[in-house]
Structures are given as structure tokens and as C-alpha cells.
Amino acid sequence: MSLGLTLDDLSRLDRIDAAMKAQDVRGQFAPLGMKEVLIAEDVVAALPAVLARHLGRFGEVRVVVDPVLIRRGGRDFKADVIAALQGHRVTRVTLDDGSEVLHADEPILAEAAQRVQGADAIVSVGGGTITDIAKVASVRAGVPVLVAIQTAASVDGFTDNFSVVLQNGVKKTTLTRWPDAVLADVRTIAEAPPRMTAAGMGEMMSMFCAPGDWYLAAQMGVDSSFTPVLLELLGICGEGIEDWSRGLGHGLASAEALTRALSLRGIVTGTGGTTATLSGMEHLFSHMLDMVASRRHTAMSQHGAQVGVGSVIASAAWDVFCARMEETPLTAADLAFDLEVRVAEAQAAFSVLDPSGAIGAECAGRYRTKLAALQANWPKVEAFFADWPAHRRSHDALVFTTPKIADYLARAGSARRFDALIPAPDEDLTRWVIACCPFMRERLTVADLLHLAGWLDDVGVGRILARVDQVLGA
């Protein structure tokens, strides 16, 4: 199957939309509602024309930002964006929850929606969180036009129709809307702190890790969205990565290449109608760390950096699962469970973090959904283990090896081990996160297989971390 697309088609979104519609044999893909993606050295100069195309007139524009100062060539980039909107009635909406990093929780989402009420257009300026908030605000307030200006290549969420928000203290990916246009300013991205670009490479690694979890969930009947055409789109995202990844952090060309790759990744998520293509155990690791930081009111590390570390951990977890299958082969009967006992275990796991039980209840509800689906499709679980060698080969064809993931992270100076994150979780917290990550949400990953097999106990988590250290030591 060939879509006949390249990364250059980011400038022709109609081609991507047409190709996806032609391959949508099950009617599961979402229409590509974004009208244009502009990745250029200077997008501010193009902003008035872009807004005119989507708004059609001068109007009431709210520029949604966080308090972080973003500089481009020594100038205040946000001020330059506002200056470029002369002729419109422009109001700057600065959202600040008092944290070092803005959280997309309900108070901020509600404030954003209230402050953009009555606008004709929203222009968001900044990173992934402010873009996610602007998407939610646009939907809630009924603002028809949304233009997102991207200033860092640290995540892929600019070019999709989802927002990652905090719900009862737990991160949740929710369907919101497509931006009408995404403008990625390559010079601003190249001048961003190196940790931002390093985080972008960490985010990229999930595309070489998460498809394996997606395959497992599909084979066991928990996720019906698995389709090869989305994996082909991911292959396009990785075009040239062997070359440009070596130059990350050194000039405009590599910054532009990373931005293009992440932009198409977002489209894969949005048109595919699921984040499972790019979000497996490695994202659970990141979301769990964010949940802990949010609850304890401590600083968060970069999401992409955490995903990079989580990719090494998730890949190592698969290595350990395969090794243990050789030592003690499993059948489906070895994974059989009592639903209520397991759900109660999930709820209790979060009591150390939130004695009120709110986080535990939220996570346990999601976990129940996953386990109920697993039980309802138990013949598929039996078939999976009956044909384990073939499924292992199919899984491995979709992912990178653990050493290869670690190598790509090293090229960008990205964190590869938990203690390289800034701020870094200690080993006890890291062990707790790995052990409890299966309980967080509905998506099945290798962590669920390890847990149901009894292989995600202290010894099992120790084996995963030992495998990480073995790979990094080599």
C-alpha cells in the first residue's frame, strides 16, 4: 500500500486528506479539518495574510499566551506577533496559574474560555500546553477561527484535533478541534533552549515504540482502531531522520526537519482518530510523573524528555517480557483475573499520592474499562499466547530495539535515564511509576501483560531498570 505522500505535502494538506479518504476502508478516519501548515524562518510576516484567509475581515482577536518570555533575534516574539495584527481589535490574554509551567486544568480552561468570549479569532503563541488550552477555549466559547503559532519543536500536539488536559488530577487526551492554521517559526524554534529540541526528539521516539503496544491491544481485542495505513504515515514522518538527527541543536535545517516530522505526526493522530499510534507505555510514564508533580505542586520536566526516557523504559520492558516468556512461557490462563480485585488494587495504588481517593477513583474507572474489554475478548488473549512467536515477530517489526532508541536520544542530547530529567525523579518514585502505570488509563500496553503475569513486582521493575542500564552501559 502506498499513500504517495512525502513530508513536503505538509504544504498541501488537501493531498493528505484525499490520500487518507482513499484508504479509509473502515470509515474510521476523521476529516483533516486543518487548512494550512506553514513552517518557515519568519511566520510573523505571513500572519496577517493567514488570518485574513480564515477570518475574511478585520475583527476581534484574542492572543492567548502564558507568561513565559519568548525571544527571537533578541526581540520579544509575542509583542511582534501582536504588532503584526494591527487593524484588528487585539486583546492579549495571559494565562497564569502561578506555577513554573502552566497546567491545562479546569480552572485555567474555564478562565481561558471566559476571556476569549465574543472573539472572532484566537491566535495562540507558545508551546503545546497553551495550544491545547486555546483549542478547548475556542470550542467552549464558540470562537470560529484558531491560528496556532508554534515556538518550540518539543511535542507534536500542535497539528491535531486533541488536547491533553488535567481531569481530577489525571492527564486525559480529549477530542477538541483542529487549528485552522499552524505557523511554526523555525528561527524561534532553533533559538529555543536546547532542552526543548531535545524534548522533541524524545517525543519522536514514541513513534518507534508505541506501535508495538497498539499492536498488542489490537490483538487482544482492547483496541479496534489498529490499521496499517497510519503506520505508513508514521514511516513518512521518519524520512531522513538518520541524517538530520545528527545535526539537532545546530542550526535552522535540523530544527525545520524535526518540526516537519512532528507536524505530520500530529496529523497522523488527528486523522486516525486515535492517539494510540504514538502513545503507549512511554506516555504513561510521562503522564504519571506529571500527575505526581501536579499533586505535589512540584516542577515538571519537559513532556517530550519524559517520553524519551519512557521509550527506553517501555522498550526495556518488552525485552524483559520476552526474556521471561523464554524462561517461563505463559498461557492465557496464567493471566486470568478477578475484575473487582484488580480494580480495587488499582484504586489503592494511588492512595499514597492522594489520600482523598479522587485520583484513585478516576484511574480505577479507566482501568476497569480496559480489563472489562480484555475479559470480553478472552478468546483473542488465548489465541495471542497460543501463537506467541509469530506475534512477537509482528510486534518487533513495528518498533526499534532498545539500543537504537537510546542511540537516537543520545544524538540530540536527550535524556535517556530517569536521573537525567530536569527535575529528576528519584529511583523510588521511578519504580512506583513503572509499577503503577498500567492502572492509569484504558490503553493496554506491555506493562499490563507484565502486571497480569505477576512480573511487574519489585523484582520485575528491577529487571526493567537493569535492562535500561545494560543498554546505556553498552
Query: What is residue 151's three-state secondary structure?
Result: coil
Contacts of 196 (CB under 8 A, 6+ apart): 127, 152, 153, 154, 189, 302
- Are 384 and 331 within 8 A, CB to CB? no
CA distances from 316 to 61, 106, 313 (A): 48, 35, 5
Task: Look at residue 51 in the predicted model and tell me its pLDDT.
Answer: 96
Domains and CATH numbers, the chain: 7-192 (3.40.50.1970), 219-226+276-473 (no CATH)
CA distance 395 to 307: 20
Question: Which three three-digit cell numbers place residue 134?
Answer: 486555546
- Does the bond joining 228 to the residue before it have cis omega, within 30 degrees of 0? no
Q: Helical H runs in 89-174?
A: 106-115, 128-141
Nearest Cα to Cα of residue 81 among 68, 63, 58, 102: 63
Q: What is the pLDDT along the chain (474 residues), one digit of tens a residue?
A: 467 788 888 888 998 888 888 888 788 888 999 999 999 999 999 999 999 999 988 899 999 999 999 999 999 999 999 999 999 999 999 999 988 889 899 999 999 999 999 999 999 999 999 999 999 999 999 999 999 999 999 888 899 999 988 887 777 889 999 999 999 999 999 999 888 888 999 999 999 999 999 999 999 999 998 988 888 888 888 888 888 888 777 778 889 999 999 999 999 889 988 889 999 999 999 999 999 998 998 888 999 999 999 999 999 999 999 999 999 999 999 999 999 999 999 999 999 999 999 999 999 999 999 999 999 999 999 999 999 999 999 999 999 999 999 999 998 899 999 999 999 999 999 999 999 999 999 999 999 999 999 999 999 999 999 999 999 998
Question: Which three three-digit cell numbers place residue 86?
Answer: 494591527
Task: Look at residue 144 in the predicted model and tell me its pLDDT.
Answer: 97
Task: Look at residue 2 in the predicted model and tell me its pLDDT.
Answer: 66
- DSSP per-residue letters across 425-467: P-HHHHHHHHHHGGGSSS---HHHHHHHTT-SSHHHHHHHHHH
**Does the reported pTM lie above 0.85?**
yes
In degrees to the nearest 10, what's the CA dihedral of 172, 173, 175, 177?
120
